[in-house]
Amino acid sequence: MNVEEVIKTQKALPLGGKTIIHLQLVTNKVLESVGNALKPYDVSLQQFNVLRILRGQKGNPANLSTLNERMVTKMSNTTRLVDKLISKGYVKRNVCASNRRKVEIFITNTGESALIEMDKAIANAERELIKSFTSDELKKLNLLLDKF
């Protein structure tokens, strides 16, 4: 992906600015590809992400603040995101007995099995995205990204 070509600019961009734009373009591509992979399951990347977090809880419930902390993008209205997952039957929500301010959110069996399918789709999309990288290059890339 050549930045100058994608945004059709004739003059070379300064290195810093180019990097910033480059990151945005690559991330756009990633989000589009991953979003498409999830389309058949009618969930957004955020929703998928929440399902994965809930599975990671291994039966223990998560409350909203926990979800918010662990999501890739914080979005303040996790309530409504969970509402959507509930309406699809993928998660359940109870008021926490010991502290009625909190809620307990669980993934359902339906959610778990749907998630297994989504995992496959996402794995394919990811494999396709990084197909030009060697494992060493990916490591280098992660080390560089760590510097941000």
- Contacting residues toward DNA, per CB under 7 A: 44, 46, 63-65, 73-80, 82, 84, 93, 99-103
Residue 99 interacts with, from its own copies, DNA, none (CB under 5-8 Å by kind):
DNA
Residue 55 interacts with, from DNA, its own copies, none (CB under 5-8 Å by kind):
none
Question: Which of the ranges 36-44, 68-76, 86-94, 103-111 carries the binding residues for its own copies, by CB under 8 A?
Answer: 68-76
Alpha helices in the chain (DSSP H): 3-6, 15-38, 45-56, 64-70, 78-87, 109-129, 135-146
Buried b (16+ CB within 10 A) or exposed e, 3-12: beeeeeeeee
If one asks whether residue 20 binds its own copies (CB under 8 A), the answer comes out as yes
